[in-house]
Structure 1
C-alpha cells in the first residue's frame, strides 16, 4: 500500500492489470467504466418509442428527452470519468456506529453516474449525497471516510493517485499535490469544469437549497463563475423534474463570455440549460437595438425611478368615467348601466393594483356581471354563458376601449422618450428637468421600427410590457458579473425568477459601468430578492499570489470596503513590469509584440489585453510581426494560442499568460478615473500563470508606488 498521504505516479502503461498494482487496478476500473457508459448510451439509442406515445405531441416530448439523455451520456476523451474515490468504514478503535449503506464500501466519484449491466454503480455522480464528503471531509471531521483518493490524468490516461487517510490520527494533514497540479494546469480553449477541485466553502454554495437565492461576492480567481455553473448542475440533479418543467437560465455579461463558458455544463451532463445576455433577455422583434446612449442618458434610464415613471405612463390612459351610460340589448329588452357604476368598477380595479392588461381583461366581465344583476332582479335566470355573451358584446367592448384602452409597450416608451410634455407629466417629482432632457431623443422617430433603440431603451420596453402582462418566471436564474447591472436591468432579470430562485455572482471591485452597483443589498432589492444571503469568497485558486497582490493595490481606490483576495497558488507566477522606450510611436507596439513572443514560448493560452482605443494599432503591429491571433470567445488551438482582447470584453475570461498593454490608456478610455481603475483591476486579474505589464506612459500611482523596492524574483524590468 502506498505511504500515508502519498502521491504515486507512473507513466501510462499498456500491460495487463497486476492484482498487486493499485494503479493497474484503477486503470482497469476506468476501462470497465467507459465500457459500461458506452453500453448505457447504446441502450438509450436503441429505445423504440414508435408505439409508446399516445399522440404526436407526447412522441415529440419523449423523443426530445431521449435525445438529451443520449447527449448527456457522451464519453469525453479528455474528461476522466472519475477523479476520486471514497472508502467508507469505521475507524479502528472507534465506538461502533449504526451500520448504514456506505459502511465498508468504496465509491468512485465522477462527472456522471455510470452503472454496470446489473445496475450496480461503477461511478457515482459528484452531486450525489454519498459524494459530498469528497469535498468536505477533513481530519477533524472525517464523516466516516477512511480513505480519500485523488487521481491524476495526462491526456486522458490515469497516471497517478494520491491517498489521504482521514481517520488515521498519525497522518498529518497537508496540501494535495494533485489538487494543486489540477488548479495550475494550463488553460487552453474554453472554460472547463472544476468538479475535481471544488473546495469546502465552494461546495456549501453549490449545494445550497433551491428555494433560497444566493449572492456570491467573489474576488478574481475565487471561482465564482464555476461555482454558479456547478450550482446549476447540482440543482438539476436534485430537482430534475421541477426545473425541467420551469426552466433554468444563465445570464452573462456578453456573447464572448457565454462562448467561453458554454462547454462547462455539457461536460457535466447538462445539455438543456439556456444561456443569454441581459440584452438577449429583453430582446423584442419590434424593438431593434441600433443606437447607443450617452453615459448620462444610460445612467438615468437605468435608475429605478424609471419604473415609477413607466407605471404612471401605462396607467395614464385609463378614464374612469365613460361619456355616457352603457346600454346592452338582449332580445326585446334593453339593460342600462349608469356611468357612475362603471366608474366604480374601474376605480376598484385600479385600487387592486392589478397588471394593466389583466385588469383590462377583467373589466368586461365586471360590467357584464352588473348587467346580469339587473336581469336577475327583473326575474330572469341568466347563466355564465349569458354573462360571457354580454362581456363580448359590441357596447361593452366600446366602453372598455374608451375607459381602459389597450397599451403597446414599445409605442408607450417611444412617446415617453420623444414627447417632452408627456415625459414631464409622468416624471414630475421623480426626474428633474436636466434628467428629463438627458433621456429625450433629439430627433423624434417616425415610428417604433424607425427608432434607434438603445439597450437601455429595450429594458424600459420590457418593464412596460411587464406592467401590461406578467412576464413568465423560470425556476432558477444564474446572473453572472451582476455588479455591472443597472437597477432596471436587475428588475428585468428578477421578473424572470419572480416565483423561482437565483444565484447572483459578482465582484463589487470589478464594476465598470457608470451605474455599477455599490452594494449587494441594493442590488438584491432591485432583483426582488431582498432576503437573499451574501456569501464572500476571498481565497483565490486562479490568479498567482504576486499578481493578485499587485492588482489589490487598487482596492483602496475602487472598493475600500472589500478585503484583498489571497491565493492558494504555491507558485508566485511569472510577473514583469516593463517600460517601453517612447523614442518613437512604434516602439511601445514593438515592445508589446516582443512580450507576446516571450509568452508564446511557454505552454498555454495567451491574452493580449489592451484599451479599446489601442486595438487598431496592436492589430496592425501583430499583423506586421506575423503573429496570428484570435478574438475573445474563439477557441484557442495548438496553432493559434494568442487572443487580442479589448479591455471592455476581458471580464470573466482567463488566460495562462497575460500581456497587459498600457494601463494608463485603459484608465483613460473610461468616463472617470474610478471606473477606469476598476477596468484596469479586471484586466490585471485575468492571468493564471503569468502577467507582463508593458507601458510607455506613467503607471497609475497605486501601481507605480513601491515597484523599485519589489523583489527581483517577482518583478523584472520594473519601472517607477
Structure 2
C-alpha cells in the first residue's frame, strides 16, 4: 500500500489539510510574536558600559535576523505522531504527542512548542524511522508546498509492517524541483545515511567520499548547523569555518546556513587562509607539485632553525656593583635543550632570555641574595641578555625566509639535502630572484610555504570546527595549512577522488587525512545520488574505470531518467549548435549552465551575444530574466544547474596537462546536471564514453 497523499483543495475546518494550514498560520504568527518580543527589548539600563551594550545589541540584532520568516522557506516540512506504548521504553517523544518539524524552533505565548528545530533529538526519527525500526513513531507526515503555500501532505504509517515500504512522492518531487538561484538547504530531504553524518559528534573528524549528486556539500553544511545547535557555546568561543575551492562556489552555497538560522559561520578559500603576500605569479605543474609536497615542510623546518648559533662567549649581566657570569657552555646547554624540545621557533626564542635569567638567579641565590620573579624579568630584559639572544637565536621573518629558499640555490641545497633531488631543487628555484618580499611574484603555492613557515615560528590559531569541501584537490602542504586551523578542533572533509583535477590531487583519503593531522578520522562513502539523473550518471560513470578504478559507481534515486542527448556536428557548425542547445534549454524551467573548456569561453561568449542570449558568470545568482551561465570547466566543480549544455568534451580533456586529469575534469562537467544534459561535439569523443 503506497503512502497516502492528499492535495485536494481544503474546504472546511474538519479537513486535515485545512487544519495543517491553520497550524502553519498560527506558527507564523507565533514566530512574528517571538521576533517582536526581541525587537521590544530595552537594554539601556541592563549594561554596565558601552562595550557591553554594543555586544548585547549585536546579539539582539542577530537574533532578530534569525527569527525572520523567510517566504521561500516553509516554516515546517514534516510532522511526527508518536505512539502510546505503556511500559515500553520510548524516545523523547511523549505518548501520543505530535511534533511539527521545521527549520527553527517556534513556541507560542506560553512557551509550548509549535515547531521543533530539525536538529533537536526529538526530530531525529523524522529522518531515520522506518517500518523495521519505527523509533516509537506511529505516523510520519510530509508536507508539500507550492509558492510558499501548503498544498499537500503525505502520510506514512510506520506501524503497518505488512505493507511494503513505498518511496515518498513528495520527497521525490522536492528532490527534482528545478534549481534557480543559489544552493538551498535539504532539511526536508535528508536521508538516513546522510543524517548519521550530520549528527556525528563534535569530538571526531569525519571524511565523506561522495559521488556527484550524493549531497556531500549539503551534508557538510547541515553538519555545521547541527554542531552549532548542539555545541553553540563552545563553537561561539572557538569559531567555525567553511572552506571551498573558489569564490564562485562559496557564493553558490552562502545562503544555506543563513536559511537555517546560522549567521556567524565564516567562509574562505585555501588561498584566503594563506594570503600573507600578494599572489602575482603562477607555477608550472611540476614546480607546483614539488612546492605542494609534504617534504617541503621539513625543508622549511630546517631553514627556520638554520639561524640558531651556539654561543662562543659568556653572558655577563651587570646589576648594581655585581657582575653575574653565565659561561658559554651553560648557555649552549640551554640552547640545545630548547632545540631538542622541538617547540616553535618563536616560543623558544621567547623562552631563551628567561632561561638565561634563571641561570643568573641561581648564582644570586648561591651568593646569599633572595631574588624574586620581578628580578628574573628584569634580568631577562637586560641589554646583555637581549644582545645574546639576538646573536644566538635571531628573529625569523617567514616571507623573507621563503624568498631566500626560492632565490638562493646554495641555501636551498643546504636544507633540501636528502629530501629534494637536484632536479627538483632547480625546478622550484626562481629564474629571476626578487630583491624584496614586496617585489616578488609569489605564486599560490609560495603563499602556502610562507604559511607553513609562519606556523613554525608561531602557532596558528585553531578553530572549533572546519568544513573542507572539494578536498580531493588539495596538495599535502595545503592540507597542512587547513589542519593548522583545527589542531584543537574537529573537521568535516568532503570530496570525491574521481573529481581530483589538480596535478597533486590526493590518491587516497587516509593519506590526505594524515597530512591534515587527522589520521584517525572515519571515512564514510555516499553512493546514493539525489541530484544527477540516472542516464547522466550512468554515462559519466563510463569514465570511472580510467579515473578512479577503486570507487563504487553512484546510483540515482530519481524516478525520472532525465533529458539526455549527445549531438555530433560538423566543426564549422559547433558554435551554432551549442547556441541552439542553450536556446532549447531556456525553453524549460530552471537554470542552465553552458560548460566549456576555458579557452573556448571567449568564443562562446561572443556567439551567445550575437544570438541575443544574455548570460551570467559562475556564482552569479540566476533569476527569471537571466538563467544561462557560461561556465569555464575549471570552475564547474561543486556547482549545479537544471540543464547543462557541454561544449566539445575533447577540448575539456585537452585543456589539462595529462589525459587522466582531463578525463576527471570531463567527469566533473558531465555531472553538473540536475534535470538534463546535452553534449555537443565536433571532435571525436574520448574512447571511454563510447564503451558500454
- Give the TM-score normalised by the residue count of structure 1: 0.95
What do residues 656-696 of structure 1 show as CA deviations (whole Å, max 9, x unaligned)?
Answer: 00000000000000000000000000000000000000000
- Over 3 Å counting, the alpha-carbon distance change for 1:97 and 1:672 in structure 2 is closer
- Unmatched segments (≥5 aa) in structure 1: 707-720
Report the CA distance between 1:69 and its aligned residue: 1.1
Q: Counterpart of 2:28?
A: 34
Matched-pair contact (CA < 8 Å) for 1:78–1:155: yes
Structure 1 stretch displaced more, 34-43 or 571-580:
34-43
Q: CA RMSD in A?
A: 1.2
Q: Counterpart of 2:290?
A: 300
Q: Counterpart of 2:301?
A: 311
Report the CA distance between 1:175 and its aligned residue: 0.4
Matches within 5 A, 1:338-417: 338-417=327-406
- Match of residue 656, structure 2, among 663, 666, 670: 670
Matched-pair contact (CA < 8 Å) for 1:90–1:96: no
Report the CA distance between 1:282 and its aligned residue: 1.1
Report the CA distance between 1:99 and its aligned residue: 9.4
- Over 3 Å counting, the alpha-carbon distance change for 1:620 and 1:481 in structure 2 is same
Matched-pair contact (CA < 8 Å) for 2:198–2:219: yes
Report the CA distance between 1:168 and its aligned residue: 2.1
- Match of residue 436, structure 2, among 447, 470, 473: 447
Q: Counterpart of 1:250?
A: 242
Matched-pair contact (CA < 8 Å) for 1:4–1:165: no
Matched-pair contact (CA < 8 Å) for 1:558–1:678: yes
Structure 1 stretch displaced more, 659-668 or 49-58:
49-58
Matched-pair contact (CA < 8 Å) for 1:4–1:163: no
Matches within 5 A, 1:420-499: 420-499=409-488
Q: Counterpart of 2:596?
A: 610
Rounded to whole Å, the distance in 2 between the matches of 1:424 and 1:153 is 66
- Match of residue 636, structure 2, among 650, 654, 661: 650
What do residues 138-190 of structure 1 show as CA deviations (whole Å, max 9, x unaligned)?
Answer: 00011110110000000000000000010123433100000000000000000
Matched-pair contact (CA < 8 Å) for 1:221–1:542: yes
Rounded to whole Å, the distance in 1 between the matches of 2:116 and 2:394 is 59
Q: Counterpart of 2:645?
A: 659
Q: Counterpart of 1:566?
A: 555
Matched-pair contact (CA < 8 Å) for 1:165–1:171: no
Report the CA distance between 1:51 and its aligned residue: 2.2
- Over 3 Å counting, the alpha-carbon distance change for 1:155 and 1:387 in structure 2 is same
- Match of residue 14, structure 2, among 11, 17, 20: 20
- Match of residue 282, structure 1, among 253, 267, 274: 274
Residue 63 of structure 2 is aligned to residue 65 of structure 1: no
Rounded to whole Å, the distance in 2 between the matches of 1:573 and 1:98 is 42
Q: Counterpart of 1:78?
A: 72
Residue 83 of structure 2 is aligned to residue 89 of structure 1: yes
Rounded to whole Å, the distance in 2 between the matches of 1:397 and 1:60 is 42
Report the CA distance between 1:320 and its aligned residue: 2.0
Matched-pair contact (CA < 8 Å) for 1:5–1:171: no
Report the CA distance between 1:101 and its aligned residue: 5.2
Matched-pair contact (CA < 8 Å) for 1:90–1:97: no
Rounded to whole Å, the distance in 2 between the matches of 1:460 and 1:51 is 51
Q: Counterpart of 2:4?
A: 6
Report the CA distance between 1:95 and its aligned residue: 7.0
Structure 1 stretch displaced more, 215-224 or 97-106:
97-106
Matched-pair contact (CA < 8 Å) for 2:101–2:118: yes
Rounded to whole Å, the distance in 2 between the matches of 1:99 and 1:534 is 29
- Over 3 Å counting, the alpha-carbon distance change for 1:85 and 1:373 in structure 2 is same
> Secondary structure at 2:96's aligned position in 1?
coil
- Unmatched segments (≥5 aa) in structure 2: none
Matched-pair contact (CA < 8 Å) for 2:91–2:122: no
Q: Counterpart of 2:215?
A: 223
Report the CA distance between 1:98 and its aligned residue: 6.5
- Match of residue 175, structure 1, among 167, 172, 187: 167
Q: Counterpart of 2:609?
A: 623
